[in-house]
């Protein structure tokens, strides 16, 4: 947990206020939501969920940024038919700032693109993480929501971005391996990183009954074997034949099929997330925008 220790030390040096003052606001009262979307395994539709959820937030007049945090195996730009000239790799090398690499995505939201095929980015060291955290702080007033599309699994990068987010959404499907690997992800974040709050989204299922059964299975196992994690069921996205068609066209399903069941579910999900009780959002740890938080 080197990044956690480093961040807490920096906050202490800057006279961190009591935790009850840390509400995600800057000195002007602007609130930002930083939400990681993660999964225990690949192939569960996580990146597609992020792209459509970002589109939905933007449609709701929320200035939205997607951070492609699968740093060495980026695919958000490919999914959206984009060809970024610069990526996070250029920022970490000191060649560009974050605001210089941001590009506009279909649907109006913005994207911080990652690089693909650069092995060094798959395991950032502590200094790189702190540098990136500080750089991201400069974007605070530009956005209302930041969605982090993490890599799959339990690598150090995945743990870092989930730790640093204010909220964590775990995407699961009806595959046994998805449930097993999601439990492993939650276990590591809970036991090693002391993260106890998780939102669960069930993706690509055929009914609410099936989705609730999948959530109950995961929740029951977590309650039995983990130390008091809080799993909150936030909904489901139906299996929809229009989704793979949209992916092949490198568009969000919300963009080209706004009235399909999946699109309506993404809008419902976005509204539910924005309506969350603010007291349930922040779990008290040092997060992205810590410098803004300690000034509030």
Q: Give the start-to-end residue ranges of the domains of the chain.
A: 2-295
pLDDT of residue 278: 56
pLDDT of residue 75: 86
- Residues near 235 by Cβ (< 8 Å), separated by ≥ 6? 201, 202, 211, 265, 268, 269, 272
- For 149-182, b/e burial (b = at least 16 CB within 10 A) is bbbbbbeebbbbbbbbbbbbbbbbbbeeebbebb
- The arithmetic mean of pLDDT across residues 221-243, rounded, is 94
More confident residue, 294 or 72: 72
Cβ–Cβ under 8 Å, residues 180 and 211: no
pLDDT of residue 292: 46
Point out the least confidently predicted range of 8-22, 40-54, 65-79.
8-22
Checking if the pLDDT of 283 tops 80, the result is no
CATH class given for the domain over 2-295? alpha beta
pLDDT-based confidence at residue 117 (cuts at 50, 70, 90): low
Residue 233 CA to residue 91 CA, distance in Å, equals 36
More confident residue, 43 or 128: 43
Residue 64 CA to residue 61 CA, distance in Å, equals 9
Mean pLDDT of the chain: 84
pLDDT of residue 271: 96
Checking if the pLDDT of 18 tops 50, the result is no
More confident residue, 38 or 5: 38
Checking if the pLDDT of 197 tops 50, the result is yes
pLDDT of residue 10: 41
pLDDT of residue 205: 98
Cβ–Cβ under 8 Å, residues 201 and 236: yes
Beta bridge partners of 34: 146
- Residues near 265 by Cβ (< 8 Å), separated by ≥ 6? 235, 236, 237, 238
pLDDT of residue 20: 32
Point out the least confidently predicted range of 10-14, 171-175, 187-191, 283-287.
10-14
- Read off the tokens for 185: 């992800």
pLDDT-based confidence at residue 125 (cuts at 50, 70, 90): confident
pLDDT of residue 145: 95
Point out the least confidently predicted range of 26-30, 41-45, 143-147.
26-30
- The arithmetic mean of pLDDT across residues 214-241, rounded, is 94
């Amino acid at each position: 947990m080197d990044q956690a220790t480093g961040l807490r030390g920096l906050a202490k040096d800057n006279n961190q206020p009591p935790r009850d003052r840390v509400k995600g606001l800057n000195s002007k009262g602007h609130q930002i939501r930083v939400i990681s979307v993660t999964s225990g395994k690949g192939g569960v539709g996580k990146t597609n969920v992020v792209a459509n959820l970002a589109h939905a937030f933007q449609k709701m007049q929320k200035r939205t940024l997607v951070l492609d945090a699968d740093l060495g195996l980026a695919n958000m730009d490919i999914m959206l038919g984009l060809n970024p000239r610069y990526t996070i790799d250029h920022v970490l090398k000191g060649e560009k700032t974050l605001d210089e690499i941001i590009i506009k995505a279909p649907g109006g939201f913005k994207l911080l693109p990652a690089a693909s095929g650069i092995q060094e980015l798959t395991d950032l060291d502590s200094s790189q993480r702190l540098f990136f955290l500080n750089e991201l702080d400069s974007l605070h007033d530009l956005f209302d929501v930041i969605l982090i599309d993490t890599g799959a699994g339990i690598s150090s990068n995945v743990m870092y971005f989930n730790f640093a987010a204010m909220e964590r959404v775990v995407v699961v499907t009806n595959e046994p391996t998805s449930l097993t690997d999601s439990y492993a992800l939650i276990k590591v974040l809970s036991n090693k990183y002391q993260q106890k709050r998780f939102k669960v989204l069930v993706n690509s299922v055929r009914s609410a009954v099936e989705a609730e059964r999948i959530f109950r299975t995961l929740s029951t196992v977590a309650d039995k074997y983990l130390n008091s994690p809080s799993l909150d069921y936030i909904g489901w996205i139906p299996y929809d034949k229009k989704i793979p068609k949209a992916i092949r066209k490198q568009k969000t399903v919300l963009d080209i099929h706004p009235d399909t069941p999946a699109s309506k579910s993404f809008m419902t999900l976005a509204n539910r997330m924005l309506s969350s009780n603010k007291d349930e959002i922040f779990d008290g740890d040092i997060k992205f925008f810590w410098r803004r938080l300690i000034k509030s």
